[in-house]
A and B are shown apart, each in its own frame.
Chain A
Amino acid sequence: MQAGAFGEPRRWAIEHQIAVGEFFDAEGLVPVAQAHIMADTESLGEAGVGFLESLARRPEAERRVRVPTLTDPRGLDVAVYKRLGQTEAMRTLEARAIAALRAFGVLMTDTCINYQTIMPPVRGEHLAMGDTGVVIYSNSVFGARSNFEGGPSALAAALTGRTPRYGYHLEECRRATRRFRLDARPRDLSEWGALGGIIGQACGSYWEVPLIEGVEEIPGSDALKHFGAALASYGSVALFHMPGITAEASPDRERPARPLPNPPPLAGEGRVGAMRPGRPRSQTIGRAELEAFVAAYGATGDKVDVVVFAAPQLSLLEMAAVAEALGGRQVHPQTTLLVATSPEIKCAADRMGLTRRIEAAGAIVAAGICFYQSYAGELAEANGWKRLLTNSAKLVNIIGGYGYRPTLLSLERCVDSAVAGRVV
């Protein structure tokens, strides 16, 4: 493959995997059951799209993916892009990327909730997942095995059917390195996200694995989705354990981490990234910490420019919750309410009348995008958006760099604020 006998796409793929594998002292390659490619055009840029097109022009036998391969959300939904102020140039670039991805035989799922909607992973299954929220949910809740695979690496895995065996493909990297105790009950999805944010900030490294004790009520799939997405966003964390809830939180895994493989040969502190000096090994999180995290983004009374439900895309139950919270009211004329979900859930919401109820309020329902991957900076400029409300801690964390002033509130308070046109 490295010599080019299987064509240029697979030659590039294996070269890329060898470079990444050597960087992390990988123990060879491991076959993967699925790949999942993040390839929104804001991230790809002209360079990335041109790269995809250059491989997509190769003969079909050289370019077809070897394992089922899905896509993460796109940068633009053709049904709503004009209403959002996105440009024809963005649409053209998006169309080029889609054409190239289809030429590889990629399934255009355009979703970051594939574990809820397409194919839940299985314990022990090796994957090449290309979205941090998908990776952490797959690893933690299901016990599957994936590293963060950025777009080029997920494409490489799709082309070779393998990925470098390091990090969370290895049993010894999956043990807890830090312990947290929850001394409060998160009240809604925004507080589950806040909890993920607090633990993520405390961990601050891809190589840390938090163990969370004291979770008294079993969180549902959407709660774990928001928790994991925020944990991955604030901390770059890819795996967590909750005893009695997640797949691998057995007593064996609750032991403190032993020296782990893949050591930095010079630093002499054990496994990559673990045990940074100055960081406590255990921490208790109570109501005061949750409320302080949310309060840091507070803005009661401010005018609301845009309310976003996304990051991750909404499940069907979240779509129903938005429709219910609106309750027939109208969104304020100076405020935009945007809901982003997957194409599958959008179809279900259409069929069940949820989309109609949400759009009747003046809100926008987008499919296959996730807002921050959709030229968020350009959207802010085009629409004059500054104050953004959301119940997603992940989105609050990301969007500041795009020039927004974000506020984290419950879904119901976000909707009430969208109706009032100011933070209530």
Chain B
Amino acid sequence: MPVVLKCHKGVGPAVSGTALVARDNFSARYDLDRKRGVFSRPTHKLAGESYVGRILVLDEAKGGVATAWMLRDMRERGLVPLALVFNRVNPILAQGAAFAGVALVDRFHGDVTDLIRTGDELRVDPAAGVVEILNRDLS
């Protein structure tokens, strides 16, 4: 039986994939090279890592409003995270995920960047408000 983490109901489709985790914040404009699909901000804990097709597990959304448009363009160009799993988001990330149709959830029991490890296999169900860690057994 997989580990089940409950959260607030989110937006976007249910998806399954591999986690990329850091205790850091996120803005598509501040942190990403959206042409190459990697984290480009030198001081970001995921600098140099590809985010394409990964489930990003991070602390909070940060910065400005650009992510609201950028996620949709990233999705249409095939250079987008599979899902966003955060402790907290600001309105911009929620608006951007809703506009792009990218899965997003937040508000967990505890710090989600501690609960999930890079490489974990996850199933994210925004409508149910649930993230399952498939490779770890509750028992």
Contacts and interface: CB of A to CB of B under 8 A. Distances in A.
Nearest to A38: B65
B119 interface: no
A337 interface: no
A152 B68 contact: yes
Contacts of A402: 40
A147 B88 contact: no
Contacts, number: 157
B60 A152 contact: no
Interface residues of A, number: 53
Nearest to A398: B30
B64 A398 contact: yes
Interface in A25-42: 38-40
B22 interface: no
A47 B72 contact: yes
A403 interface: yes
Contacts of B8: 23, 264-266
| Residue of A150, A153, A372 with most partner-chain B CB within 10 A | A150
B63 A236 contact: yes
Contacts of A272: 88, 107
B92 interface: yes
A38 B92 CA distance: 12
A265 B70 CA distance: 30
Nearest to B42: A400
Contacts of B70: 43, 45
B63 A132 contact: yes
A39 B91 contact: no
Interface residues of B, number: 47
Interface in A205-241: 205-207, 232-236
Interface stretch (A14-22, A78-86, A284-292, A383-391): A14-22
A24 interface: yes
B65 A148 contact: yes
Contacts of B32: 401
B90 interface: yes
B63 A150 contact: no
Prevailing SS type, chain B contact patch? mixed
A326 B108 CA distance: 54
A196 interface: no
Given A397-B30, A398-B29, A23 B94 contact: yes
Contacts of A151: 65, 68-69
A19 B11 contact: yes
Interface string B83-103: 000001111101110110000
A261 interface: no
Interface string A257-282: 00000001111100011000000000
| Residue of B9, B88, B96 with most partner-chain A CB within 10 A | B88
A403 B76 CA distance: 24
Contacts of A403: 40
A48 interface: yes
Contact of B95 (A153, A206, A235): A153
B90 A148 contact: yes
B31 interface: yes
B25 interface: yes
B7 interface: yes
B95 A236 contact: no
Contact of A204 (B41, B60, B96): B60
Contacts of B91: 20, 24, 147-150, 153, 167, 206
A266 B25 contact: no
Contacts of B89: 206
Contacts of B40: 401-403
B65 A132 contact: yes
Contacts of A423: none
A381 B64 CA distance: 23
B6 A401 contact: no
Contact of A233 (B63, B95, B109): B63
| Residue of B64, B75, B104 with most partner-chain A CB within 10 A | B64
A152 B88 contact: no
A19 B10 CA distance: 9
Given A23-B9, A401-B32, 12 more contacts: A23-B104, A47-B75, A47-B77, A148-B92, A153-B95, A204-B25, A233-B64, A264-B107, A272-B88, A372-B29, A400-B42, A401-B30
15 contacts: A16-B98, A22-B9, A24-B91, A39-B69, A43-B70, A45-B77, A148-B64, A148-B91, A153-B68, A236-B63, A236-B90, A272-B88, A397-B30, A398-B30, A398-B63
Interface of A: 16, 19-20, 22-24, 38-40, 43-48, 51, 72, 130-132, 147-153, 167, 204-207, 232-236, 264-268, 272-273, 372-373, 377, 397-398, 400-403
